Structure 1
Amino acid sequence: MVDEPPRGVTGLGWLETLRGRLYGRLLLLLAVGLVFMTLAGLDILSPWIGALAYGAIVALAALVPETTESAAGVVSGGSQGELAFADAVRHFADALPDPAVVLDARSVIIHLNREARHHFPGVVAGTPIAFTLRSPQLLSAIEAARLGPAQTIELHQTVPTETWYKATIAPLLPGAQGKDGILVITLQSLTEAKRLESLRTDFIANASHELRTPLTSLVGFIDTLLGPAANDKVARERFLGLMRGQAARMSKLIDDLLSLSRIEMRQHVRPITPVDLGPLLREVAEGLQVQAAETRTRLDVRLPEGSVVVSGDRDELYEVFENLIENAIKYGADGDNIEITLTPDTGRTGFAALVSVVDHGVGVAEEHVPRLTERFYRVDAESSRKKKGTGLGLAIVKHIVTRHHGLLAIRSQPGQGTRVEVLLRK
C-alpha cells in the first residue's frame, strides 16, 4: 500500500522525502526510461503509452517507501511503537540548535533537521551520506561509531565556501530492540572561531613585524654611536634625529593599537551624545593645516548653514575624520585640493549627515579597495612606512563608524583619486 504523510510531518518534509526516494532510485528510473525509449524507437510500443507507463512508474517510485524508512516511521502499517519512535527521532533532531543528520543502519539519511538543511542544502534525505558528504574521515568515523563509542572529528569543507565543523557521531539508543544501527550526527560550526583565530595570528605577526623594524634600526644606531661614531658630533646628531623618528613611529603604532583595543571593548555600545559636526570638522582641518602645507595641499572645508547634529562620541568622531583627512594628505593629494564636505540631506532614512573626503591623487586599483580597512593592509607597504603610516588608520575608522551604527564607503580608481564617505545617524 502507498504510504501517507505520518502525523507531525510537514508538507515540506513530505516533499523532501519523495524527492529523496526518487534520488535513491535514479539509476533504476533512468534504465526504465531507456528501455521505453528503445521500444518506442522500434515501433514496438506507442510513445504515448510508454510516456504514461513511465509516469506511473515514477509516481510509484516516489510514493512507495524503502525499507530503510521504517526507522523514520514513514512505512505504512508500522506498529504504534515504531511510529512513536520515529516521531521521537524527528523531534529530537529538530530540537537541536545545531545541524543534525540521522542515519539508518546502512548509513542512508533518514532525517535532517532545519539547521542541517540550511547549512548543507545538497544533502537529501533517502540518499546514502557518502553520496553528499564526501569526507573519508567522516565515513571512517561513522563506521567506528557503529563498533565502539561516539566519535568526534573536524569536518573541513572548501566548496562552495570554506567552512569548519566539529562533527559528533553517536548511536541513538544503542541496543534498543529493533532500533540499533541508527546514528545521529551533530555538527557544531567552527568557521567563525577559525576565522578569528586566523585574524589573531595575522594581527600578532603583523604587529610584531611593525615593531621589530624600528627596534632593529634603533639598536643599529645605538651600536654605531657606541662604536665608530662615538666622538663624531655630526654623525651623532644625524643618528639621534633618525632614532627620534623611529621612536615616534613606534609610539604612533602603539597609540593606534591601544585606540583599536579601546574601540573594540565598547564595540556593541552605541554612543548617544549629541555632536555638532560642523565645528568638529573645522577643528580637525585646522589641526592638520601644518601637515597639509608641507605637501602644498589645500584643505577645502564645505559646511552648510546651521548645525548638523548626530549621536556619537566626539573624540572618536574626531579620530575618524583626522585619519581620513591625514590619509588624503599623505597618499592622495600632493600639491592639490582636498574637499571635505558635510551634507545634512543624506537621502537615506535614519541618517542625519554625510561627510565626504575627496582627494585627487593617484588612487588605488579596484581589487585593493575592499581590503583597505583590514589591519596592516597596505597597497604600497614601502611608501606607507616612509610616510609614517601604521596600516591601522582605516581599520580604526571602520570600527568607530560601526560602533556609531553608521556606514563607511570607499571609492577609488587609479589616476582619479579617492572618495571616502561616512554616513552617521541622528
Structure 2
Amino acid sequence: MTQTRAEKFAVFFRLLRISSGFFLALFILLLWGRLELIDVLLISLAGASVCWFLLSNDQQIIRALRQYFRHKASSNSPAEATPTSNLMFSETTSTSDISELLWLVSSAEKQASSSYKQLKFSNEYLYDVLHQLPLPLILLDNRGHVQEFNERAKILFGHLQQNKPIAFVIRNNSLIETINQVIDGGTGLTETQLTLARPDKQHFSVIISSFLVEEKSRTAVMFIDRTAALEAEKMRTEFVANVSHELRTPLTSIMGFVETLQGPAGEDQATREKFLKILLQQSQRMLRLVSDQLSLSKIERSDFVSPTAQANLTQAVERVRVALDHQIKTTDVTVNIDMPATPVIVAGVLDELIQMIQNLTENAIRYGRQNGQVDLTIKPDVTHDALPGIALASICVADNGDGIAPNHLPRLTERFYRVDKGRSREMGGTGLGLAIVKHIISRHRGHLEITSELGQGSKFTIYLPCKTASADQVEPLKHIVTKTSH
C-alpha cells in the first residue's frame, strides 16, 4: 500500500518529535568530545531509519483500522464484517498483528451482532405475543410507568399512554398499592380483584407479575374479565333459591291440608273433597315445575349443538292445537290459527318446536283478556335484519290482553321472572316457560322478537332458518287448520 504525501509528512513530524531527545543527547556527547562527528552521523542515520520503519508500520496499522471501521460505519447491518484479506499492506508491513487485531474486533462484533439479533427476535416475539393476547395486558417499568400495552388494554382503558404512570390510568388505590409492592419486591406473582364502576359493572381478576428483561425490572399487569362468571354464579344462586321457594310453597300447603284432613275435618266429605282438590292442584304445580326444570336442563345441555333434523312447523302447530283443545274449550278465549296448507320446513327438532309453540300459546291464553282472542300465525319465506341473507319462517303468537310494560320486556325470558307474581302462581305458571322458549330458539339459531303495548296486548314472533324438504323427509299432515277458532 503506497503512503500518501500527507501520511509521509505525518510520519516525518512524529519522527522529529520522538527522536528530538535522542539527537540532543548525541549533540551533547559530540560537544564533550566523547563521540566523533562520523559516529554521531552514523548513529543518527541508523536510529532515524529504525524509527522511520516503526512509525511507518504503525501508520499502516492505523490506516488498516481506519479502513475497516469506515467500512463498518457505512454498512447497513451490524452483522456485516470486513475480511482482513481485503485490506492491503505494503511489503514491509507485518500483517500478523493487524490480522489478529482485526480478527478479535470482528469476532467481538459478530458476537455482539448475534446477541443483537437474539434480542431483536425476543423483543419482536414478545411484542407479537403481547398484541395477540385476547386479554388486556400492560407492561410497566421499575417506576410504575407504562412501557407497552396491547389493543385489548387500550379498549379497556382508552387513555393509556406510554411513559405515563399507571396511577394516571387506573384510579384504584388498592390495585396501585399492590402493583407497587410487586415492583418493589422485584419478582413474584400476585392476584387481586378490580371492579370498574361503569354503566354496567365489570369485575376483573388482575394478575401482577414482575420479571427481568436485559437486567431491567419489568412488571406485567393482566386483566381477566370475571363479570360473566360472577353473573353466572349469581344466577345459579338465585336459581337455587327460587327453586327452593317454588317447591317449598306447594309443599307447605300440602302438609297443612294433610294435617287438617288428619283431624276432625277429614270426616266431613265436602271438606275432604275440597282439600283433596287443592292437594291435587299443588301436586300438579310441583310436577309442572320439576318437568319444566328438567326440560330446561336438557335443552341447555344441547344449546351449542345445532339440530340436523328437519321439522314441519305446520305439523307442530297442529299437534299444539290438539294438545290445547280442552284448555281452549274451557276458556272464553278464541284462538285463530293461520298457516299455509303446504309444509313449512325448518332445521329443528319437532318435539322442541312443539314445546316452544305450546308454551307461548298457553301463556297467551292464560294471561289474555276475558273473551279475548289469540292469533297463531305461520309464515314461510320471510326475512329479518337479525338473520341477514337467510330464508326464514316465522311463528307469531299474539293476544289482545293487558299488555306488558316496557321495563319488563328485557327480562321476560329470565328464569322465574314474573310480571305479576301473584297472578302467575294463581294461573299455574312456573316462571320457566319463556326461559325454555329462549333456549329452544337459541339452539335452533333463531331470533325472538317481543312487542307489547299496555292495554293492547303482546306479540311474540320467532324467526327460524328454513330448509328445503323432500317428500320422504317430513311426516305428512293429516289435518291442516287455517284460521280456525274455538
Same fold (TM over 0.5): yes
Deviations 1:47-102, CA, capped at 9 Å, x for gaps: xxxxxxxxxxxxxxxxxxxxxxxxxxxxxxxx969984765653453354422101
1:251 is matched with which residue?
287
1:282 correspondence with 2:318: yes
2:157 to 98, 120, 141: 120
Pick from 182, 185, 195 the counterpart of residue 145 of structure 1. Answer: 182
Shift of 1:172: 1.9
Q: Which residue identity is paired with 1:403?
A: R
CA deviation after TM superposition for structure 1 residue 159, in Å: 1.6
Which residue is equivalent to 1:400? 440
Please state how far the C-alpha of 1:342 moved relative to its aligned partner. 0.9
In the aligned structure 2, how far is the partner of 1:371 from the partner of 1:183? 43
Amino acid at match of 1:407: H
Q: How many residues are treated as equivalent by the alignment?
A: 345
Match of 2:413 in 1: 373
Instruction: Give the SS at the match of 1:344.
Output: strand
Could you tell me how far 1:123 is from its partner in structure 2? 2.8
Residues 399 and 458 of structure 2 are in contact (CA less than 8 Å); yes or no, is this contact kept in structure 1? yes
Which one of the candidate residues 108, 113, 135 is aligned to 2:172?
135
**Normalised by the size of structure 2, how large is the TM-score?**
0.68
Structure (1 or 2) with the larger CA radius of gyration: 2
> CA offset at residue 338 of structure 1?
1.0
Q: Which residue of 2 aligns with 1:9?
A: none
Matched with 2:140 is 103
Instruction: Give the SS at the match of 2:382.
Output: coil
Query: What residue is the counterpart of 1:171 in the other structure?
Result: 210
1:165-244 residue pairs with structure 2 within 5 A? 165-173=204-212, 177=215, 179-180=216-217, 182-244=218-280
CA deviation after TM superposition for structure 1 residue 241, in Å: 1.0
Task: Name which of 408, 414, 421 aligns with 2:454.
Answer: 414
Structure 2: unaligned runs, 5 residues or longer: 1-114, 467-486
Alignment partner of 1:93 is 2:130: yes
Q: Does 1:363 align with 2:403?
A: yes
- AA at the equivalent of 1:135: N
Quick one: distance in 1 between partners of 2:127 and 2:308? 47
Distance in 2 (alpha carbons) for counterparts of 1:88 and 1:280? 57
SS in 2 for 1:340: strand
**Structure 1 unpaired stretches of 5+:** 1-78
Do the aligned partners of 1:289 and 1:299 also contact (CA within 8 Å) in 2? no
Task: Give the Cα–Cα distance (whole angstroms) in 1 for the partners of residues 251 and 427 of structure 2.
Answer: 18
Indicate conservation of the 8 Å contact 2:144/2:183, yes or no.
no
Would the alpha carbon gap of residues 97 and 353 (structure 1) be closer, same or farther in structure 2, given more than 3 Å must change?
A: closer
Q: Residues 300-311 of structure 1 correspond to what in structure 2 (within 5 A)?
A: 300-311=336-347
Task: Measure how far apart 1:339 and its partner are.
Answer: 0.9
Superposed counterparts of 1:50-69, under 5 Å: none
1:391 equivalent to 2:427? Answer no
1:347 Cα shift?
2.8
Task: Spell out, residue by residue over 1:285-314, the C-alpha distance to the aligned partner (whole angstroms, 9 max, x if none).
Answer: 232122122221111111123221111100
Rounded Cα–Cα distance in structure 2 between residues aligned with 1:409 and 1:95? 37
1:96/1:407 Cα in 2 relative to 1: closer, same or farther (>3 Å)?
A: closer
Report the secondary structure of 2:267's partner residue: coil
- Answer with 415-424 or 294-303: which moved more: 294-303
| Structure 2 counterpart of 1:166, one-letter code | S
Q: Evaluate the alpha carbon distance shift between residue 293 and residue 334 of structure 1 in structure 2; reply closer, same or farther with a 3 A threshold.
A: farther
Is residue 2:462 matched to residue 1:425? no
Cα distance in 2 for partners of 1:157, 1:100 equals 16
Deviation for aligned residue 1:370: 1.1
SS in 2 for 1:173: strand
1:204-259 deviations in Å (ceiling 9; x for gaps): 11111111110110111111112342423322221111111000000000000000
Cα displacement string for residues 80-136 of structure 1 (whole angstroms, at most 9, x for unaligned residues): 699847656534533544221011122111110122223332333332111111111
1:188 is paired with a residue whose SS is: strand
Bigger shift: 314-323 or 124-133?
Answer: 124-133
- 1:171 aligned counterpart, secondary structure: strand
Q: How far apart are the structure 1 equivalents of 2:268 and 2:297?
A: 43
Contact 1:123 1:133 in 2 (8 A): no
Please give the per-residue CA displacement for 1:398-426, whole angstroms capped at 9, x wherever unaligned: 10011011111110011010111011112
CA distance in 2 between counterparts of 1:267 and 1:92 reads: 33
Q: Quote the residue 2:193 is aligned against.
A: 154
Q: For 1:86 and 1:135, how far apart are their aligned partners in 2? A: 30
Q: Residues 87 and 295 (structure 1 numbering): CA distance in 2 closer, same or farther, change over 3 Å?
A: same
Percent identical pairs in the alignment equals 38
Contact persistence 2:144–2:180 (CA under 8 A): no
Q: Take 1:273 and 1:87, find their aligned partners in 2: how far apart are those partners?
A: 49
Any conservation in 1 of the 2:353–2:440 contact (CA below 8 Å)?
A: yes
Distance 1:139 1:360, change over 3 A: same
Q: 1:273: which partner in 2?
A: 309
1:346 to 382, 390, 395: 382
Please identify, of 254-263 and 127-136, the stretch whose mean Cα deviation from structure 2 is larger.
127-136
Give me the whole-angstrom Cα distance separating, in 2, the residues matched to 1:137 and 1:411.
Answer: 46
| Superposed displacement of residue 374, structure 1 | 0.7
Equivalent residues of 1:351, 1:423 under 8 A apart: no
| Alpha-carbon separation, structure 2, partners of 1:255 and 1:120 | 47
RMSD: 2.1
